Chains A and B, each alone.
Chain A
């Protein structure tokens, strides 16, 4: 089945130790998104890629970076995690960015910062 895969599902890192979260998709969608979700709140968009074009949200901290080496893979790098970065990180994909295109979400990676 076509899907969005996130690895690992659970990640524990130490305060200040860089961490990378991974997302892959078999849907061949043009757009990939990264969201941060805290405590069953609404997901907060961090950034998205349309093909290789990177789009950062204005309020996304510089501590968060992303890479998309090819259509299938996208990575979220947190350069120096703080305790406030503990959250569920959701990857999503869509055919396009506008109008009626729904987003398909992966299962998420729950990040714990110790």
Chain B
């Protein structure tokens, strides 16, 4: 079975400050990890994914994520947050060849000007 935990329902940061959104996962096989962002009344937008190789993954809009196998984590980061980054962020995992994508509960990010 596969699962994802996003321990923070909300993250609040000031514009220009670093942003981190936490994600931990549980799989029995090899994990494939994804981050998506959702703006109000919109679908999910793909940000980045980890497949294998380099533990630091760079994605869209200046976001990056660090895969840590020993801590089973895949935290999303942005060095300098923008007000426009305010949205709902979902971490998701797929276990090896399982077709199903398991989503975390989501973290609402608010960036204040």
Which A residues contact B (CB, under 8 angstroms)? 4, 6, 40-43, 45, 48, 55, 88, 90, 92, 97-100, 102-108, 110
Contacts and interface: CB of A to CB of B under 8 A. Distances in A.
Interface of B: 32, 34, 36, 38, 41-46, 49, 51, 88, 90, 94, 96-101, 103-106, 108
Contact of B100 (A45, A104, A106, A110): A45
Interface pairs A-B: 3 shortest CB-CB: A105-B43, A97-B99, A42-B103
A32 to B, nearest CB: 13
B88 A40 contact: yes
B5 to A, nearest CB: 11
A43 B46 contact: no
A90 B44 contact: yes
Nearest to A44: B103
